[in-house]
Structure 1
Amino acid sequence: MLIHPLICDTDSLTQLCSRLARSDFVAVDTEFMRENSYWPELCLVQIGNLEEAAAIDPMAQGLDLTPLLDLLTDNPDVLKVFHAGPQDIEIIFNLTGKTPTPLFDTQVAAMALGQAEQIGYANLVESWLGRTVDKGARFTDWSRRPLEARQIDYAIGDVTHLAEIFPKMLQRLRKTGRGAWLDVEMEKLGNPAQYTPDPDTLWQRIRAPSRNAQVMGRMRALAWWREQEAQDKNLPRGRIMKDETLADIAAHPPSTQNELGKVRGLSAAWRENDIGARMMDALFAARPLRPDEMPPKAPRGPALGKEGGLVADLLKLLLKIRSREMDVAAKLLARSDDLEALAAGVRTNLAILEGWRFEVFGRDALALVEGHMAFAIADGRIKMTRTGLTKDLPDAPEPVTLVEQP
């Protein structure tokens, strides 16, 4: 494989992308820093196929990333292969307003092939190629220049190994017939909505101190204010105000800005600084949530009751059995909250009752809660036995086919 020197000029990047555009797939990775910023700072992009690979320096003066971004977002003929891709995809989305298409995530695919639910890159390389990844440069400050040769080599290794793994993984998926499973997962991964933070809903991620409509209204207003401050200053949300402090202020609002100096988690400067004044404006403008704006009542689990809890436990046992029989990560088949919802009587808007999940697991899960399936012991092993025919079970939609690669 040809490994190029660090690409720092537009002409070299254009030529590289022109060649890669003739590939069936490219492996992609990024190095970035975001510990001290709201927006991730892109420091390096690695890309390659089985013939060549390169690292690109987006911080190089005068470098235009357009050829690379066009390849990633506007070329439907080249499959983009990532490992644990959401953060890489987020960076590309921030730069272009688009997500890479089509795409493939080896971490998700590994789940369909019986590997760990969130297998790390080093373990993936070890299991598929029998190689040990040198982790010596993993704590590099990628924003510092110049980069050392060992750092660049380490970074490029992330795509050279991935380019070798992907064809092997695709071949295994074809043999198992599980390629179609991944289409839905990749569609979710590439959904732009996943990478567009909505200031009006971010407050729902904060643990509410109560379900009081006034408190929640203040939480929404404060979360919206914090999001704007974080974006404007390019600082992490927690550097503006921690979640616990925000929730505390929502529950016990100060009547004047001067009282902010007494709030745990805030410095005395908040009594008179501009950010404190803007926060108080947001607080005073807050209104109680209407009944239709209130979030759903907390966890389904406790609402199951004793019997429902036992049914959920049986479903989890079924999931464990099925995932072991199929040699697939349990998390790919079903989530615990879906199982608890099914046990509680929910029959709509559950992933396990749709598509391929219904065919390989949901049908039996529904049969179990409807009383048409039972556990049995045979030769010291747990098995499932049907006690009758299921009735009126929905048909799963037709699966689509994973992008074919030679």
Structure 2
Amino acid sequence: MKIHPLITDSKAVAEICERFSTADFVCVDTEFMRENTYWPILCLVQISDGKEAAAIDPLAEGIDLTPLLDLMTDNEDVLKIFHAGGQDVEIIVNLTGKTPHPIFDTQIAMMAISQSEQIGYANLVDAWLGITVDKGARFTDWSRRPLTDRQIEYAIGDVTYLAEIFPKMLDKLVETGRGGWLDIEMEKLATVSNYQTDLETIWKRVRAPSRNAQVLGRLKALAAWRETEAQHKDIPRGRIMRDETLADIAGNPPKQQGDLAKVRGLSSAWKQNDIGQRMMKVIADAEPLPSDEMPVKNKRGAPLGKEGALVADLLKLLLKIRSREIDIASRLLTKADELEALAAGLRDLPILTTWRFDVFGKDALELVEGRMAFAVEKGRLKMTRIEGEPEPTKDAKPEEVGEPAAE
């Protein structure tokens, strides 16, 4: 594979992107800094089509990244490959308002062909190529110039190895017939809203101090205000105030600005500065959280009950068994809250649709409805199908598993 010197001029960017525009795929990675800023600072872009590879310096004076960004977002003929690419994609969305498309994430793909939940890049390279990645340059300051040869070599390795791994991974997906399973997952990665902050829902990331509508209304208003302040100042939201302080103020709002000096986590300057004044207005204007936005204990809204909780535990055991049997990461199949919803009687669930129903949802439903049971065979736990109609359990009450009692 041809490795180019660090690209620092617009002409070289245009030339290499022109060649990549006819490739079947390009592997992409970025290095960025965001410790002291709200918006990530793009410091390096690495790209390879398996035949050549290069690192592009976005901080080079006068460099035009338009051909690169166009390749990422407008060329539908080239597959863009990332590993755990959420933050890389976020940067592209910030720059263009669009996501790379079509897109493929090798971390998610590994979940379809192994029980690896969130395999790191170094472990991925070791598993597929038997190569130990040098992590020495991982936590360096990518914004400092000049970059060292070691930094550039480390960064380019992230895409050259990926370009070797992807064809092997693709063969494995074809061999197992699981490539189609990933279509929906990869399309989710290309949804722009996944990478944009929604001021209406940002409060849900903060641990709620109570279930009181007035408190949660203040929390929602304060969280949105903090986010806009952080964006405007281009500093991490925690530099405005930490989540704990935000929740404390929502639950115990100060009566006047001078009281802010007594709030743990705020400097005494808040009692008289402009930001303190702005926050006091937000608190004063906050309205109770509407009833349709109030959180519920089971986020899918279904009552679980004691018996339902036991059924949910059995479903989680089934998930472990099935993940082992077919060699797939359980997280790709479903999550705990969905199993609890199934146990509680809900049926409009992703687990009961598409390929998930065929490989797991069908058996999960039969377990809930009494047509499947656990058995031990030669020391191994397995599932067995029950013939005929299951006998009703005398002690179980319908309402305990989330089903309505018969009239």
**TM-score normalised by L of structure 1:** 0.93
**In structure 2, do the counterparts of structure 1 residues 306 and 297 end up closer, same or farther at CA, with 3 Å as the change threshold?**
closer
Q: Secondary structure of 1:216's match?
A: helix
Q: Could you report, residue by residue, the CA deviation over 1:188-215 in whole angstroms, capped at 9, with x for unpaired residues?
A: 1111110111111101221111111111
- Counterpart of 1:234, as a letter, is D
In structure 1, how many angstroms separate the alpha carbons of the residues matched to 2:380 and 2:242?
Answer: 50
CA contact (8 A) 1:301 1:309 kept: no
**In structure 2, do the counterparts of structure 1 residues 323 and 359 end up closer, same or farther at CA, with 3 Å as the change threshold?**
same
In structure 2, how many angstroms separate the alpha carbons of the residues matched to 1:13 and 1:386?
Answer: 60
- Counterpart of 1:125, as a letter, is V
Q: Secondary structure of 2:147's match?
A: coil
Offset, 1:296: 2.9
Offset, 1:302: 11
Offset, 1:297: 3.6
Q: How does 1:252-401 map onto structure 2 within 5 Å?
A: 252-297=252-297, 304-348=304-348, 350-388=349-387
CA contact (8 A) 2:115 2:323 kept: no
Offset, 1:295: 2.7
CA contact (8 A) 1:28 1:159 kept: yes
Q: In structure 2, what is the equivalent of residue 23 of structure 1?
A: 23
Identity %: 69
In structure 2, how many angstroms separate the alpha carbons of the residues matched to 1:9 and 1:338?
Answer: 50
Q: In structure 1, what is the equivalent of residue 222 of structure 2?
A: 222
Q: In structure 1, what is the equivalent of residue 405 of structure 2?
A: none
In structure 1, how many angstroms separate the alpha carbons of the residues matched to 2:242 and 2:272?
Answer: 19
- Counterpart of 1:368, as a letter, is L
Q: In structure 1, what is the equivalent of residue 97 of structure 2?
A: 97
Aligned residues: 389
Q: Could you report, residue by residue, the CA deviation over 1:63-82 in whole angstroms, capped at 9, with x for unpaired residues?
A: 01000000000000000000
- Counterpart of 2:112, as a letter, is A
Offset, 1:288: 1.1
Q: How does 1:164-183 map onto structure 2 within 5 Å?
A: 164-183=164-183
CA contact (8 A) 1:301 1:340 kept: no
Q: In structure 2, what is the equivalent of residue 404 of structure 1?
A: none
CA contact (8 A) 1:204 1:295 kept: no
- Counterpart of 1:153, as a letter, is E
CA contact (8 A) 2:28 2:81 kept: yes
Q: Secondary structure of 1:80's match?
A: strand
Unpaired segments ≥5 residues, structure 1: 391-406
CA contact (8 A) 1:117 1:331 kept: yes
- Counterpart of 2:236, as a letter, is P
CA contact (8 A) 2:302 2:344 kept: no
Query: CA RMSD of the aligned region, Å?
Result: 1.5
Offset, 1:218: 0.7
In structure 1, how many angstroms separate the alpha carbons of the residues matched to 2:25 and 2:235?
Answer: 35
Q: Secondary structure of 1:180's match?
A: helix
Offset, 1:383: 2.0
Q: In structure 2, what is the equivalent of residue 119 of structure 1?
A: 119
Q: In structure 2, what is the equivalent of residue 398 of structure 1?
A: none
In structure 2, how many angstroms separate the alpha carbons of the residues matched to 1:312 and 1:168?
Answer: 37
**TM-score normalised by L of structure 2:** 0.93
In structure 1, how many angstroms separate the alpha carbons of the residues matched to 2:118 and 2:300?
Answer: 25
Unpaired segments ≥5 residues, structure 2: 390-407
